[in-house]
Structures are given as structure tokens and as C-alpha cells.
């Protein structure tokens, strides 16, 4: 409720120009006793026209944009009040938009833009009238608004509100209203109230709804006859409350707890009259105590659990009463099955929760909940979960049975959607690599679709062979590791990179193995087999090894121990000569020198043999000649 110190009274529209007023101030010029009363100009306008009101004798500069708020300010007897300041304030920003004062005949006019305004009305201090505010006035066109001023607060109206036992009744709203004013106050913890008012005829109302106290009804609304308040007045209000207490029992006399009992009625006492309402519950022993106001006809209603029939009757509440509310059983009706589920539109694999708590008994208590999920599977319980393995529409059935053996079935259709799918693509460099997807062999490039959150296992080979060429595992485009597990939360493309191509190079030796050598300066030994990138490599074999002497390369007969080869290639065999029997192998170049020496020695021996033989022959010839001479001499 809001306090108002003014009353808006519709008047016939003032005879003004149909043109609108622009934002700003009004201008009033009125000759009176030789003095010109000037008012601020209503905005800056491009085109001004003069509007003349024969009724008020006013001149107003107006434009075609803004409406006019005008009218009369008077007291309750109709007497005009002059020099009243009226301010138009924007209701949202509280910024002053326009202002004016009433002329000697109580008339005023304001030019304002279209909008919502609070009008602050301030009478002259010596007038004895109260300030007032007219709030939230919507101005979309010309408005005529009469303002009635009331005298300033001059008297005190106070009192207390108590129940029949003189116990204070706090938080009761005391409202007073007249033709010109409306005010209210609340009783404190002592039941007291007090407010300042101007003298006038007032209607008084008592209202209460919160918080609940046990000695009066939850809610009441009481009114009094009009009072003429002309001086300080104290008035006490005694509420004539009555108690309706008793017990709620079943057909066998046993107490029934948590039964809601409503009481309502119409009362008249002292100079007050009005309505009341209460709602209470029976306690664990079925007892209740309801507070009402005195009335010959209070309505009492009981809303028991579903298996009992509702109760409604009237009570003479002019005195306290003790009442036994005897409940009767409802006719045997079946329970009402009902259920919901979440998520509302599941996808395959979602955990769907079915909830039958909306099922209601209707006589007996519900003792079982049986479910048919529509996909050949079943469940039981008030709250169950289920997962659908395929998409589609399924009819879900719920059967509820109560303690009386009576049942009810509810069926609803649920739509299960296919989960989102994403693609997994595996590529490789070079292409054509055979690999494993969840244990199944595949070959790059490869692509497949999977449902959301699926887990896919990938294993790439260590070696990718193409004919006599090999490629060796290097890395994925996003990291190392030949084996990985992919979670499908989006479309994914993976590329496996292999190093290569590599070619096989074999270096052997004959007739022995284990001969050390170097390849591009790196030490190795025969037999040697490795996969190398295409390119040039230098093989450097030793001259001798364990008495064996370098001879040549088997494949091309090249006798140079240092050989530059180009891959791709195949096998290179280094041939060595075995050492001579009983001797030691020497190199070919050293052998040439030894051969000359041996030949020289051999020639020398031959020369010596020949010389010796020649000497021997000469000796034999001499001896022969001597022998011949002897023979001849004899």
C-alpha cells in the first residue's frame, strides 16, 4: 500500500492548441496589477505558435512534439490554491524535466516529452497543506489532472490490537483511508501502532497474514465504520478469537496424523466485521487446535490422506468447541500410474532414468512398480535406469499396484536417437602401409565412422617393405609411438610417417669372414648386412688379415681395396688369397721384389753350376788328352 496525499480528479480537457509542447519549460504571462508573471520558455523550437485558452487566459509557447499536462489545484472544498509549485520528474532517472506554479485561479500547465513522470506538488508553506507526490503518470498525449490538497498532518491516531485474553497481536496492518489520503502502519511486538494524520473522516481496516500465531486465524481482513478524527485519538481493538480443538480419527477410532484442516468464515464483533481463514495439520496423535473469530457459522474442512474421504461441515464458533473428526474410507479406486524420464531425448548408450514418483495412490498405498522398457527388457522399482542399445521409438509401460491389489498402467513413447558419429582417417607417408585397427588388418589410406566417445586402437608396423625396399617407423604427425588409442570426440585424421626408402647392402668376404673394414669411416666386419638410404658409400678393406692377402672384389674383379658404391645395390664380396704353405703371405707388390731376388739367386746358382760344370769338363778334356797322349806314347 502507498501513502497518498492527493486525489486525481478527471476534468474536462482544457481548451488548448492541438499542437504539442517541446521539451523544456512553459511560459505563462499574465498581467495582474501591473506586474507581468513570467515563466521559462518551453524548449527551443523551430516553429512557435500561440495557443490561447479562453477558459484560463493563458499563453503557452508550444511546438508539435510534446503533450501538455494541465489542470486545477484545489482543496477538498473546491477552493483553488495559488502559488503551488509543480515539478515533473522523470520516473526512472528522477531528473526534473519541467516545472511551473499555479496562477491565482489555481490553474497550471506543463509541456513534457512523452514518458512516465512523478509530479511533485509543493504548496506554499503558509498554506497549511501537505506536500504530495503523484507517481508514475504515463503521458502519451495531453493530460488533464486535477490535484486536491489536504491539510498537513496535525493529529495522532494510535492504539493497540489484542486478543480476547489481552495478548498483543503483532504484525497486524492498520490501514486508514479517506477521500484524500491513505496511510498504514503495523503493530509492534506489544500490539501497538501510531500514525500522524490530517483531520478527516476515515475508514479503518485491520489485515494480517504473516507470520502465523496460534491465538488468531492465519489470515483475517476486518473493517470498521467511518470515524471522524479531529483530534489525537487512541483506539484499542480486541479480537474476539475462539478455539476449535479436537482429534482426527479413522473409522476404527485410531488417530490420523497430518490431516490438513481448513477453517474460514465471516465475523462481526464490536465495530469490526470481515473474513478470516486458517489452515493447520493434525499432529502425530491426531490432535489439532484451530483459532477462529466468533461466528455462528464457521466452515471446517478436513483433507485426509487419499484412502479417506474429505470432510466438510459448519460449526457454531461463538464459543470454544471440542470436535472429533471421524474419517471414512474412500471407495476402492485404483492408483494412478505416472512417470517421467531424463534425458528427455536420449541417444543410444545413454543412461536413462525413469521416475515413477508422480504415481498417486487412490485408496491403498502403492506397493510395486513394474517397468517394460519396450525393447524386450524389464525392471522394477519407483526409480530405475536403463540403456538402449539401438535407436528408434520404444513404448515404455509402467504398472503400479497398491496394497489393495488394484493396479493401473501408464504407457508413453520414448525416442532414442542414434549418437553422433565421427570419422577416423589414417594416412601414411609412404602410402599403402598395412596396419591394425582393433586387431583387424587395414591398409592406408583408410577411413571409417565411429559413434561419439568410441575408443579405437591403432597399431602401425615397425617396418614397411615394398619389394626390395624398406621403410622404418618414424612418428605420427602428433607424436611418437606406433600404438595408440583414439577417443572419438570429433573428426580425426592421423598421418603415420616412415623413414626411407632403405636399401639392403651386404658385404661379405671369402674365403674367411670376420674381416674388419669401414663404411664411410664407420668400423664394421664381414659378414655385414644393413639397410641404408640410397646414396654413395665408401668401403675400405684391409690389405691383409690373419695371413690372408687382399686380392680383389668378386663381383667386378676390381683389385682396389677402397671402393665407392652407389645404392641401391646388392652384395659385395671381398676376396683374399690364402698364405703359401709353410710361408707367410706377402703382398703382391713385395712379391714382385722377392721374385727378382729369387730369379737373380737362381741365375747365380745356374751360372755357378755352369761354371763348375765347364771347369769339370775342361778337366775331363785335359785328362782325356793326357790319356790319349799316354796311349800314343806307349
pLDDT one-digit tens code per residue, 519-529? 999 999 999 99
Last residue in a domain, options 122, 149, 176 = 149
Residue 261 lies in a domain: yes
Distance, CA of 487 to chain centre:
23
Q: Which long-range contacts (CB under 8 A, 24 or more apart) does 513-522 make?
A: 515/541, 515/542, 515/545, 515/548, 515/574, 515/576, 516/542, 516/545, 517/541, 517/542, 517/574
pLDDT one-digit tens code per residue, 395-420? 999 999 988 888 999 999 999 999 88
Domain extent for 391 = 340-416
* Unique residue bearing C-alpha cell 520516473: 91
Residue 351 lies in a domain: yes
Q: How many Cα atoms are found within 13 Å in the side-chain-facing hemisphere of 171?
A: 11
Lowest pLDDT segment from 58-72, 337-351, 555-569, 612-626? 612-626
Element (H, E) at 159: strand 155-163
- Same domain for 460 and 350, yes or no, is no
DSSP letter string, 5-65: SEEEE--PPP---SSPPPSS-----EEETTEEE-----S--SS-EEEEETTTTEEEEE-SS
pLDDT one-digit tens code per residue, 155-173? 899 999 999 999 999 999 9
Query: Looking at residues 316-343, what average pLDDT do you find?
Result: 91
User: ∠ CA 360-361-364 to the nearest 5 degrees?
Assistant: 170
Q: How confident is the model at residue 129 (pLDDT cuts 50, 70, 90)?
A: confident
Neighbours of 356 (CB within 10 A): 22
Residue 86 lies in a domain: yes
- Same domain for 145 and 159, yes or no, is no
Residue 482 lies in a domain: yes
Asked whether residue 564 carries a pLDDT value surpassing 90, the answer given is yes
In degrees to the nearest 10, what's the CA dihedral of 624, 627, 633, 634? -140
Q: How confident is the model at residue 560 (pLDDT cuts 50, 70, 90)?
A: very high
Residue 62 lies in a domain: yes
Per the prediction, the chain carries an average pLDDT of 83
- Same domain for 481 and 536, yes or no, is no
Query: Looking at residues 194-221, what average pLDDT do you find?
Result: 91
Q: How confident is the model at residue 618 (pLDDT cuts 50, 70, 90)?
A: low
Last residue in a domain, options 302, 326, 350 = 326
- Same domain for 285 and 402, yes or no, is no
**Count of structural domains, the chain:** 7
pLDDT one-digit tens code per residue, 218-254? 999 999 878 898 899 999 999 999 999 999 999 889 9
The CATH number linked to 296 is: 2.60.40.1120
- Same domain for 264 and 246, yes or no, is yes
- Same domain for 13 and 58, yes or no, is yes
**Which residue blocks in 444-552 are alpha helix, DSSP H?**
none
Asked whether residue 29 carries a pLDDT value surpassing 80, the answer given is no
Q: How confident is the model at residue 545 (pLDDT cuts 50, 70, 90)?
A: very high
- Same domain for 320 and 427, yes or no, is no
Residue 41 lies in a domain: yes
Q: Which residues of 436-461 are buried (b: 16+ CB within 10 A; e: fewer)?
A: ebeeeebebeeeeebebebebebebb
Q: How confident is the model at residue 567 (pLDDT cuts 50, 70, 90)?
A: confident
- Same domain for 23 and 141, yes or no, is yes
How far apart CA 616 and CA 53 sit, in angstroms, is 184
- Same domain for 86 and 208, yes or no, is no
- Same domain for 138 and 12, yes or no, is yes
| The predicted structure's pLDDT at residue 623 | 55
- Same domain for 81 and 14, yes or no, is yes
pLDDT one-digit tens code per residue, 130-139? 889 999 999 9
Q: How confident is the model at residue 271 (pLDDT cuts 50, 70, 90)?
A: confident
Q: Which long-range contacts (CB under 8 A, 24 or more apart) does 28-36 make?
A: 28/58, 28/59, 28/60, 28/100, 28/103, 28/109, 29/59, 30/57, 30/58, 30/103, 32/104
pLDDT one-digit tens code per residue, 82-95? 999 999 999 999 99
The CATH number linked to 548 is: 2.60.40.10
Residue 75 lies in a domain: yes
- Do residues 224 and 205 touch, judged by C-beta distance below 8 A? yes
How far apart CA 18 and CA 22 sit, in angstroms, is 13
Last residue in a domain, options 416, 437, 468 = 416
How far apart CA 569 and CA 539 sit, in angstroms, is 13
Q: How confident is the model at residue 610 (pLDDT cuts 50, 70, 90)?
A: low
- Same domain for 431 and 510, yes or no, is no
Residue 334 lies in a domain: no
More confident residue, 154 or 175: 175
More confident residue, 415 or 623: 415
- Do residues 257 and 298 touch, judged by C-beta distance below 8 A? no
Asked whether residue 555 carries a pLDDT value surpassing 70, the answer given is yes
- Do residues 37 and 169 touch, judged by C-beta distance below 8 A? no
3-class SS of residue 147: strand
Lowest pLDDT segment from 114-128, 328-342, 428-442, 448-462? 328-342
**229 burial via Cβ count (<10 Å: 0-12, 13-18, 19+):** buried
Amino acid at each position: 500500500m502507498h501513502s497518498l496525499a492527493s486525489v486525481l480528479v478527471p476534468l474536462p480537457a482544457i481548451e488548448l492548441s492541438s499542437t504539442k509542447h517541446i521539451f523544456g519549460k512553459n511560459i505563462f504571462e499574465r498581467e495582474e496589477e501591473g506586474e507581468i508573471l513570467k515563466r521559462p520558455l518551453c524548449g527551443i523550437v523551430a516553429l512557435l505558435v500561440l495557443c490561447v485558452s479562453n477558459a484560463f487566459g493563458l499563453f503557452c509557447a508550444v511546438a508539435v512534439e510534446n503533450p501538455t499536462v494541465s489542470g486545477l489545484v484545489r482543496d477538498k472544498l473546491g477552493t483553488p490554491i495559488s502559488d503551488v509549485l509543480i515539478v515533473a520528474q522523470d520516473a526512472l532517472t528522477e531528473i526534473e524535466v519541467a516545472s511551473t506554479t499555479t496562477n491565482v485561479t489555481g490553474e497550471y500547465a506543463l509541456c513534457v516529452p512523452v514518458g512516465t513522470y512523478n509530479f511533485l506538488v509543493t504548496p506554499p508553506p503558509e498554506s497549511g497543506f501537505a506536500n504530495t507526490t503523484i507517481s508514475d503518470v504515463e503521458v502519451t498525449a495531453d493530460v488533464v489532472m486535477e490535484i486536491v490538497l489536504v491539510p498537513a498532518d496535525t493529529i495522532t491516531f494510535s492504539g493497540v490490537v489484542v486478543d480476547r485474553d489481552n495478548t498483543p497481536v503483532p504484525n497486524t496492518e492498520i490501514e486508514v483511508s479517506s477521500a484524500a489520503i491513505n496511510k498504514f502502519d503495523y503493530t509492534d511486538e506489544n500490539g501497538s501502532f501510531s500514525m500522524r494524520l490530517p483531520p478527516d473522516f476515515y475508514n479503518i481496516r485491520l489485515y494480517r497474514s504473516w507470520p502465523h500465531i496460534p491465538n488468531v486465524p492465519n489470515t483475517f481482513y476486518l473493517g470498521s465504520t467511518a470515524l471522524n478524527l479531529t483530534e489525537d485519538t487512541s483506539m484499542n481493538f480486541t479480537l474476539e478469537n475462539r478455539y476449535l480443538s479436537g482429534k482426527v480419527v479413522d473409522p476404527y477410532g485410531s488417530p490420523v496424523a497430518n490431516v490438513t484442516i481448513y477453517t474460514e468464515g465471516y465475523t462481526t464483533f464490536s465495530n469490526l466485521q470481515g473474513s478470516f481463514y486458517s489452515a493447520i495439520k493434525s499432529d502425530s496423535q491426531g490432535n489439532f487446535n484451530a483459532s477462529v473469530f466468533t461466528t455462528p457459522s464457521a466452515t471446517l474442512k478436513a483433507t485426509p490422506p487419499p484412502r479417506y474421504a474429505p470432510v466438510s461441515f459448519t460449526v457454531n464458533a461463538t464459543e470454544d468447541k471440542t470436535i472429533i473428526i471421524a474419517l471414512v474410507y474412500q471407495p476402492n479406486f485404483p492408483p494412478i500410474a505416472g512417470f517421467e524420464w531424463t534425458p528427455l531425448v536420449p541417444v543410444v548408450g545413454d543412461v536413462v532414468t525413469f521416475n515413477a514418483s508422480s504415481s498417486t495412490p487412490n485408496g491403498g498405498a502403492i506397493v510395486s512398480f513394474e517397468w517394460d522398457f519396450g525393447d524386450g527388457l524389464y525392471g522394477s522399482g519407483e526409480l530405475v535406469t536403463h540403456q538402449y542399445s539401438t535407436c528408434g521409438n520404444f513404448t515404455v509401460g509402467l504398472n503400479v499396484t497398491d496394497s489393495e491389489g488394484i493396479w493401473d498402467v501408464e504407457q508413453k513413447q520414448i525416442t532414442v536417437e542414434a549418437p553422433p558419429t565421427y570419422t577416423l582417417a589414417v594416412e601414411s607417408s609412404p602410402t599403402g602401409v598395412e596396419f591394425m585397427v582393433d586387431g583387424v588388418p587395414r591398409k592406408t589410406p583408410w577411413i571409417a565412422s565411429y559413434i561419439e566417445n568410441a575408443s579405437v586402437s591403432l597399431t602401425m608396423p615397425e617396418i614397411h617393405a615394398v619389394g626390395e625396399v624398406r621403410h622404418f617407423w618414424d612418428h605420427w604427425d602428433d607424436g611418437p609411438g606406433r600404438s595408440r588409442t583414439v577417443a572419438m570426440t570429433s573428426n580425426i585424421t592421423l598421418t603415420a610417417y616412415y623413414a626411407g626408402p632403405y636399401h639392403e647392402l651386404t658385404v661379405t668376404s671369402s674365403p674367411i669372414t670376420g674381416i674388419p673394414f669401414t663404411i664411410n669411416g664407420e668400423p664394421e666386419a664381414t659378414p655385414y648386412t644393413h639397410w641404408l638410404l640410397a646414396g654413395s658409400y665408401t668401403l675400405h678393406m684391409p690389405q691383409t688379415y690373419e695371413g690372408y692377402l687382399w686380392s680383389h672384389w668378386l663381383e667386378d674383379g676390381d683389385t682396389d681395396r677402397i671402393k665407392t658404391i652407389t645404392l641401391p645395390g646388392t652384395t659385395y664380396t671381398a676376396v683374399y688369397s690364402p698364405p703359401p704353405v709353410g710361408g707367410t703371405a706377402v703382398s703382391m707388390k713385395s712379391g714382385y721384389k722377392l721374385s727378382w731376388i729369387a730369379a737373380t739367386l737362381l741365375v747365380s746358382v745356374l751360372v755357378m753350376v755352369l761354371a763348375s760344370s765347364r771347369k769339370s769338363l775342361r778337366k775331363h778334356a785335359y785328362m782325356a788328352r793326357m790319356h790319349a797322349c799316354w796311349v800314343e806314347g806307349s
